[in-house]
Each structure stands twice: as structure tokens, then as C-alpha cells.
């Protein structure tokens, strides 16, 4: 892959994606192109069992857009929205556990990018997190109006969006927007360790759990339950189930081997 604003490497079965599009990791066409390449690679790479999304830009995870560029918004920029939504959907439905290491401000599209990850961690005193578009007379347009209420509930989500609130890591943890707060200097290492532990889990089962959860959230209970039954039938005869039961009965740690993206 020839990447311009992302770096990508595999560390102990963890695909580490680092954003490096200074100053604010804006979701530019180059960013979208890089990310689509990486996701395409992940879908065909059975070595990866989990994903860590991090930032190389000091003080910023991502702000989505560079405000200076919004002064010249045109139909071409608007035409990129479907591509952004496709990227977000692809990352959200990726059949691997995904972790966002939020090292700085995650605002607007940056938070919307973090929302599609399964887990979100922030560094202490790292910055603010929120969807402040209304302060510019705008609305969130990368999926935030849909995903934020699902994660923290409608009441708090509309308060954040209506007021354009950008909240601290402590406030974000309190409302369930992030999972935990790590010391800023340890953030990436702690997140990598967390992601490595996820990579040792039953990846095939995780892929199916994600599929069931997303089906229920977006398509309703009936379809979610139908997907759950199908996934159980697919999963119950897998080698990982046999390994998990044998390991439990013999008092040892399981060694799951079912491959990731292609297994579900």
C-alpha cells in the first residue's frame, strides 16, 4: 500500500492504524483514500485479530474538518459525504474488535470516527471531545446524529449537539462516551496492551457478536434475534467453541485460532 497520511503495521496480531494528517487529522480526500486502502487490506488479512486507531498529531486525535476549508465549501465537498459514510460504516461493521486511542481533541468528524470504534480511551488532560458543529451554524454530518444517541442516550446526546458542548475526558467517561482514562504518556501503550488482549479472544465469536448487535440496533429486535440464531448456528460448530470448552474443563487458558474477517 502507498499511504500518504496514515501508517499501518501489524503488532502481535493487532493492526495499528496511525493518523498523521497535521495539524488536526482532517478527513481529507487523501485521508479517505488511505483509510479505504487500509480497510480493504484488513478485510483480506487473516493475520489481524484486532485494530487500534491512534494519532501521531500532538494534541489532536481528529477534528474531522479544518475550519479554514469550510469557508470555501462547495458541491464537490458535499459529494464526499457518501464516501465518508461508507468509510464509517465499513469501520463500524469490521468483524474485528476496534479500539480508539484518543490522545487529544476529538471534535466533529473526529468524534464521529471514534464513535464507530468498539472501545474509546482518552489520555488524562488530553483535550475535549464533542460535536460542536452548531457553534458554526452547522450540523454533524458524518453519522454523529445517529450514533451519539445510541451510545449515550438521546437526552445527553441532544444536549451536547444543541449546545455544541466539548467535554473533558472525565465528563465523557461519566456518561459512557469513553471506556476509561489513562495517563497521557501511557495512552498508546495501554491501548495497545488492551487491544492485544482482545486479539487473543475468540475472533470469530466477536465478529458474530458485532454483527448481531449492529443488526438489532439498526434494523430492530426481530431482525437482531434472527441474526443471533443464524450466528449461533454458524458459531457452535467452530473449532474455537471446542477449544474454549476443552480449555475450561481442563483448567487452562484457551488458544483460539479461528481467523478473523473471513470467518463470520
In this structure, are residues 127 and 61 in contact, taking their beta carbons and an 8 Å threshold?
yes
Strands ordered across the beta sheet of 98-102: 6-11, 14-19, 50-55, 98-102, 119-123, 180-182
pLDDT (mean) for 96-118: 97
Indicate the length of the chain as a whole number. 264
- CATH topology classification for 203-263: Lyase 2-enoyl-coa Hydratase; Chain  A, domain 2 (1.10.12)
In this structure, are residues 34 and 3 in contact, taking their beta carbons and an 8 Å threshold?
yes
CATH of domain 6-199: 3.90.226.10
pTM exceeding 0.85: yes
User: Which residue in this structure is represented by grid cell 470555501?
Assistant: 72
pLDDT (mean) for 109-113: 96
Amino acid 69: pLDDT = 62
Amino acid 227: pLDDT = 96
**Could you give the CA distance from residue 53 to residue 30 in angstroms, rounded to a whole number?**
17
**Could you give the CA distance from residue 137 to residue 134 in angstroms, rounded to a whole number?**
5
In this structure, are residues 260 and 209 in contact, taking their beta carbons and an 8 Å threshold?
no
Q: Is the peptide bond before 31 cis (omega within 30 degrees of 0)?
A: no
133: annotated active-site residue:
yes
Which contacts qualify for 39-44: CB closer than 8 Å, 24 or more apart? 39/87, 39/90, 39/91, 39/94, 41/1, 41/8, 42/15, 42/94, 42/96, 42/261, 43/94, 43/261, 44/261, 44/262
Amino acid 264: pLDDT = 47
**Ranges 65-74, 89-98, 254-263: which has the least confidence:** 65-74
> pLDDT category, 113, cuts 50, 70, 90?
very high
Which of the following is catalytic: 2, 112, 170, 243?
A: 112
Nearest to 61 by CA among 89, 94, 92, 99: 99
> By percentage, how much of the chain surpasses pLDDT 90?
82
List % helix, strand, coil for the chain (3-state, nearest 5). 50, 15, 30
In this structure, are residues 4 and 36 in contact, taking their beta carbons and an 8 Å threshold?
no
Nearest to 52 by CA among 26, 19, 21, 88: 19
**Could you give the CA distance from residue 217 to residue 215 in angstroms, rounded to a whole number?**
6
pLDDT digits (tens, 9 = 90+) for 58-79: 999 999 876 666 656 667 677 7
Which of the following is catalytic: 133, 170, 234, 258?
A: 133
Amino acid 194: pLDDT = 98
Task: State the CB neighbour count (10 A cutoff) for residue 46.
Answer: 15
Statement: residue 225 has pLDDT above 70: yes
Nearest to 82 by CA among 118, 132, 32: 32
Statement: residue 228 has pLDDT above 80: yes
2: annotated active-site residue:
no
What residue ranges do the domains of the chain occupy?
6-199, 203-263
**Could you give the CA distance from residue 264 to residue 251 in angstroms, rounded to a whole number?**
28
| CA distances (Å), origin 251, targets 5, 19, 206, 240, 254 | 46, 41, 22, 16, 9
Amino acid at each position: 500500500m502507498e499511504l500518504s497520511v496514515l501508517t499501518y503495521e501489524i503488532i502481535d496480531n493487532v493492526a495499528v492504524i496511525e493518523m498523521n494528517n497535521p495539524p488536526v487529522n482532517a478527513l481529507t480526500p487523501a485521508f479517505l483514500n488511505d483509510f479505504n486502502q487500509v480497510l480493504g487490506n484488513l478485510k483480506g488479512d487473516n493475520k489481524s485479530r484486532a485494530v487500534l486507531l491512534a494519532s501521531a498529531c500532538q494534541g489532536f486525535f481528529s477534528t474531522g474538518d479544518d475550519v479554514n476549508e469550510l469557508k470555501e465549501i462547495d458541491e464537490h465537498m458535499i459529494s464526499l459525504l457518501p464516501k465518508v459514510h461508507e468509510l464509517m460504516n465499513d469501520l463500524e461493521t469490521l468483524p474485528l474488535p476496534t479500539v480508539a486511542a484518543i490522545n487529544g481533541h476529538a471534535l466533529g468528524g473526529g468524534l464521529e470516527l471514534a464513535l464507530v470504534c468498539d472501545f474509546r480511551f482518552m489520555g488524562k488532560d488530553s483535550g475535549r471531545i464533542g460535536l460542536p458543529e452548531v457553534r458554526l451554524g452547522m450540523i454533524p454530518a458524518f453519522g454523529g446524529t445517529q450514533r451519539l444517541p445510541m451510545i449515550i442516550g438521546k437526552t445527553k446526546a441532544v444536549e451536547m449537539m444543541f449546545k455544541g458542548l466539548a467535554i473533558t475526558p472525565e465528563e465523557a467517561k461519566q456518561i459512557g462516551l469513553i471506556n476509561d482514562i489513562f495517563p497521557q504518556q501511557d495512552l498508546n501503550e495501554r491501548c495497545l496492551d488492551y487491544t492485544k488482549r482482545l486479539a487473543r479472544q475468540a475472533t470469530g465469536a466477536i465478529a458474530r457478536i458485532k454483527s448481531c448487535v449492529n443488526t438489532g440496533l439498526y434494523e430492530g429486535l426481530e431482525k437482531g434475534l434472527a441474526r443471533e440464531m443464524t450466528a449461533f448456528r454458524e458459531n457452535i460448530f467452530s473449532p474455537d467453541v471446542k477449544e474454549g470448552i476443552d480449555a475450561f474443563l481442563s483448567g487452562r487458558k484457551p488458544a483460539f485460532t479461528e481467523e478473523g474477517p473471513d470467518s463470520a
